[in-house]
Amino acid sequence: MAFALAHAGKLLDKDTGLARQQAVEILRVVPGQPQALLILAVAQRRRGDIAGALSSHRLLVALQPGAFAPYFQLGQTLSNAGDATGAVTALQRATRLDANQTDGWRLLGDHYRLLGRTGEASHCNDQQIRSAVYHPELMAAAEQLCQNRLPAAEAGLRDYLKRFPTDFVAIRMLAELASRLGRYEDAEQLLRRCLELAPNFTAAERNYALVLQRQNKVVEALAVIAHQLALEPGDPSLLSLKASCLVKIGKYAEAIAIYADILPRFPDQPKLWMSYGHALKTENQSAAAIVAYRRSIEQMPELGEAYWSLANLKTFRFTESESEAMQTQLARPDLGAEDRLHLHFALGKAAEDDGAYALSFQHYQAGNRLRHDQIGYDALDTALAADRAIRLFDAPFLRRHAGAGSPATDPIFIVGLPRSGSTLIEQILASHASVEGTMELPDLQAIAKLLGGRKKIGDPSAYPEMLAELDAAQLRGLGEDYLERTRIQRKTDRPFFIDKMPNNFFHVGLIHLILPRARIIDARRHPLACCFSAFKQHFARGQGFSYDLADLGRYYADYVRLMAHFDAVLPGRVHRVYYERMVADSEPEIRRLLDYCGLAFDPDCLTFWRNSRSVRTASAEQVRQPIYTEGLQQWRHFEAWLDPLKAALGTVLEDYPA
C-alpha cells in the first residue's frame, strides 16, 4: 500500500490521468484512504474536474478535520472555482492547524492581495518567510527581512551560504532581498540556482517569473508562468502576472481577455481593475477604461493612482463630486505618500480644467515635491553624462568607426523629451503602410546598461567610453542584438518599426555605431511648453528629472547641447521635427519627415487619427483626434510660477528654435 501511494504521489507532477487512476484503484481496495483521496482530489483539480475535486476534498476534510493538507488543497480548488471567500476561509483554517507550512501562507497571501486586503497579505508574506526556516541563523535573517533591516539580513545570509551553499531556502531569501533592492539581475541568478537545487519549489518559481517580468524578459517570464499554469490552470495571481507580461509586448487584446476572465470570479480587486483600465485605454476603449477605473475607486477610495489614471486620459473631466472625494481622501492623515502624490496630480488636472490655475499649480507642485523627495535625482549626473558622450563621439572617432554596425534599416528612433510631440510623430509614421508602431522600447537602454558593466547602484559605468574598445564585428553584433530583442514587439511584416523611447537621445552615438542606417528623429517643442507639460505629468518610471522645474530646465538644456553636438559631427544624421511647425502646417512637415525616412508619401499619414493601433503613452487620446492648437499656449496660464524653469533654461529659451 505504501509503495502504491508513493507511486501515485510521484505521478501527480508527471501524468495526472495516471495519478487519478492509481488513486481510484487504491480507494477501491481501501475506501476512504486519506492519502489516496488527497491524490485523487489534486489530480481532479489539475485535470479541470473542479466539481469532482470539491467532492473529494470535502470527504477528506470530514475524515481529517485536524489536518493541514485537506484544507490547503480545498483552498486551492475553491480558488479555481472562483470562490475567493471560501478559499480564504479554508486557507485560514489550514494555517491555524499548521503555522509552519510555507505554501499555506503563500496561497492565503495571494488571495488577500486579490481581494485588496494588503495588510493581511503583508502579514502572510512575513509568515511565509518565517515558516520556511527552522535553523536559528535563518530565523534571524527572516526576522530582519520582515523588519526591512536589509543590510543585516544580507550579511547573515551570505555568511550562512558560504558554509551551506546548497541551502535553497536561504538562496530564495537572498533573492527576495536582492529584488527589494532593485537588483533584479542578482535575484534572477539566485532564483535560477534555487530552482536547479529544488525544481519543484513553487514559491521560488513564482518569484522567478516576477523578477523576469520586472526586467522586461517577457518571453522567459511567460515560459515560467506557463509551467506554473500547467500545474494550477485557474490560479488568478499567475493569470494576472501573465496579463501584465502580455501588456509589455503589446498583446493588449489577450491581456484584456485574461482580465475579463479573472475579474468576474474575483471582482473585489481594485488594483486589477486599474490594470484592466490601462489595457482598455491602450486599445482605444476609453469608455470601458473609465468604468474600470471608477470600479477600482469604488473598492479603494484612497487609491490615488486610479484617479490619476482618469486624469491621464487627458480628455476626461472630473465631476464635482469626484473632486470633492479626492479632497476628502487627501485630508486623511493616514494616507500613504504614493496615493497622496497621485491625488495631487489628479486634482491639479481637475483645477486646470476649471480654470483655477493657482490652485492647479499648487497641486502639481505638491505632487512633484513628494516624488522628487523619493527618487533623489541629481541634475549633475545628467550634465556629466552629456559631457562624456560629447568627448567620446567626436568627428575623428566617428570616422574611424564608419561602416561598422548592422546594415539593417528597420528601426526608426524617435528621441527627445517626454511631452514633446513624439507620440504625434509616431502616430503619423505608424499610419504609413510600411511602418509599424510599437511603444517606448527599453532595449537600447538595456544594451547601454549591459555595456556599462555596473554590478550595483552607485558603481561607475564604463559606458560610453568602452565603445572605443569594440571592433566592427562587435558593433554589428550589438546592432543584431537590438533587432533580436525587439522582434517580439513586431506584429506585422512591415519593413520598418518605431522605437519611441524619448531618453534614447543620450544614445544617438550608440545608435549610429551599431545601426548606422537606422533613422533618428528628434521631436522638439518650445522649452516652456514641453517642460511644464512634463511637470504636470506623473510618469510611472524613468523620468526622474521631471519633478522639479529647475531640474527640468537643466535637463532640457543638456539635451539641446548634446543634440547640437551630433548636428555638428554628423550633419543631417538626425531629422528634427518642431511641434509648433507640425501643428501650424502639417502636410509639408509630414512630407519632409517621410522623405527623410525614405518613404513614399502615403495620404493616410495626413489622417493619422483614424489609425486604430494601440497607443500606450500619455498622449494616447490626443493623437486619436485631428491636430489641434489648444495645447500650444497652455503653459502661459502658469507663467507666473515658471521663473525657476526659465532661469535653468538660460539661453536655450532665448534662442529657441535656433
Provide the residue ranges of all domains of the chain, joining segments of one domain with +: 313-375, 382-655
> For a pLDDT cut of 90, what percent of the chain falls above it?
60
Nearest CA-CA partner of 38 in 65, 11, 69: 69
Question: pLDDT-derived band of residue 18, with 50, 70 and 90 as boundaries?
Answer: confident
> For a pLDDT cut of 70, what percent of the chain falls above it?
94
User: Each residue of 199-213: pLDDT tens digit?
Assistant: 778 889 999 999 999
pLDDT over 90 (residue 123): no
pLDDT score for 623: 45
Question: pLDDT-derived band of residue 122, with 50, 70 and 90 as boundaries?
Answer: confident
pLDDT over 70 (residue 622): no
Residue position matching grid coordinates 508527471: 14
pLDDT over 60 (residue 41): yes
pTM of the model: 0.76
Whole-number average pLDDT of the chain: 89
Question: pLDDT-derived band of residue 608, with 50, 70 and 90 as boundaries?
Answer: confident
For the ranges 59-63, 268-272, 554-558, which has the lowest average pLDDT? 59-63
pLDDT over 80 (residue 135): no
- Looking from the CA of 501 toward its CB, the CA atoms found within 13 Å total 20
What distance in Å separates the CA atoms of residue 431 and residue 624, rounded to the nearest whole number?
12
pLDDT score for 458: 67
Cell of 434: 510600411
pLDDT score for 619: 47
Q: What is the mean pLDDT of residues 454-476?
A: 88
pLDDT score for 133: 61
146 against 631, higher pLDDT: 146
Report the CATH number of the 382-655 domain: 3.40.50.300
Residue position matching grid coordinates 535637463: 555
pLDDT over 50 (residue 620): no
In angstroms, the Cα distances linking 480 to 408, 471, 477, 574 are 8, 14, 5, 21
User: Each residue of 148-167: pLDDT tens digit?
Assistant: 889 999 999 999 899 888 77
Question: pLDDT-derived band of residue 403, with 50, 70 and 90 as boundaries?
Answer: confident
In the chain, count of helices (H) and strands (E)? 34, 5
What distance in Å separates the CA atoms of residue 279 and residue 250, rounded to the nearest whole number?
10
Cell of 186: 542578482
pLDDT score for 329: 97
Q: Residues of 629-658 as b/e, b for ≥16 C-beta within 10 angstroms? A: eebeeebeebeebbeebbebbeebbeebee
Question: pLDDT-derived band of residue 643, with 50, 70 and 90 as boundaries?
Answer: very high
Which long-range contacts (C-beta less than 8 Å, at least 24 apart) are formed by 144-150?
145/173, 145/176, 145/177, 148/180, 150/177, 150/180, 150/181
What distance in Å separates the CA atoms of residue 342 and residue 349, rounded to the nearest whole number?
11
* CB contact at 8 A, 619 and 424: yes
69 against 565, higher pLDDT: 565
User: Each residue of 317-365: pLDDT tens digit?
Assistant: 999 999 999 999 999 999 999 999 999 999 999 999 999 999 999 999 9
pLDDT score for 473: 96
pLDDT over 70 (residue 314): yes
Q: What is the mean pLDDT of residues 184-199?
A: 89
User: Each residue of 262-283: pLDDT tens digit?
Assistant: 999 899 999 999 999 999 998 8
Starting at the edge strand that comes first in sequence, how are the strands of the sheet with 519-524 ordered?
Answer: 435-439, 496-499, 411-416, 519-524, 574-578
616 against 609, higher pLDDT: 609
For the ranges 45-54, 449-458, 633-642, which has the lowest average pLDDT? 449-458
